[in-house]
Amino acid sequence: MNMSINKGKDIAEGSNSRSTVSVSAADHQQNPPPLSRYESQKRRDWNTFGQYLRNQRPPVALSQCNANHVLDFLRYLDQFGKTKVHLQGCVFFGQPEPPGPCTCPLRQAWGSLDALIGRLRAAYEENGGLPETNPFASGAIRIYLREVRDSQAKARGIPYKKKKKKRIPLKSSNNEDSSASFPIQQS
């Protein structure tokens, strides 16, 4: 009987090894490890997109979101861009380093939009969305991004060239016919 009293006292004081583990687990839940830069940005982007949908009139539920809402969001973000994109009528159109200022608009850079869509595409599925219904993976989004990339490249006078993948043949470990091996593509 004396042991049961001591056991109760030990548990109350936290001297039981099991209670120590649960306390440290509780501490760990209160202080999760810091998020990576990518994860922090993805969460921030996801929250921004959610706020954008809630601010629509009428508000749009995430389950009702489609590629048109995503396109509108990308166009909305242009007003916060820092990349000068020369219009076709501008005297600096097609010049990589214009000699002077102009009144052409500032836009979001293609690379920023492309990275944003990648993060939002991942966040959509991490938050319960199905890959088949992911509005960020829509063909319309890919077309829009391609058009932005091409128009910005023309405005700067620098054509966008896709990097070609290098093909490196596999080295055969025995003396068999090396034509049977498949080349590895590296990007």
Residue owning tokens 């979001």: 108
Residue owning tokens 């391609």: 146
Instruction: Tally the domains of the chain.
Output: 1
Higher pLDDT, 156 or 176: 156
- Quick one: pLDDT at residue 60? 95
Of residues 83, 86, 85, the one with CA closest to residue 109: 83
Residue 146 lies in a domain: yes
Please, which residues bridge with residue 107 across strands?
Answer: 83
Domain range holding 113? 37-156
Q: Tokens standing for 18?
A: 């099991």
Residue 137 lies in a domain: yes
Residue 56 lies in a domain: yes
Q: pTM (2 decimals)?
A: 0.66
Residue 31 lies in a domain: no
Residue 71 lies in a domain: yes
Minimum mean pLDDT range among 31-40, 49-58, 128-137, 156-165: 156-165
- Quick one: pLDDT at residue 172? 53
Residue 185 lies in a domain: no
The stretch 30-52 carries a mean pLDDT of 92
What's 62's domain CATH number?
1.10.150
Residue 169 lies in a domain: no
Per-residue pLDDT tens digits for 130-167: 999 999 999 999 999 999 999 888 888 665 566 666 77
- Quick one: pLDDT at residue 183? 46
CB 108, CB 78: distance < 8 Å? yes
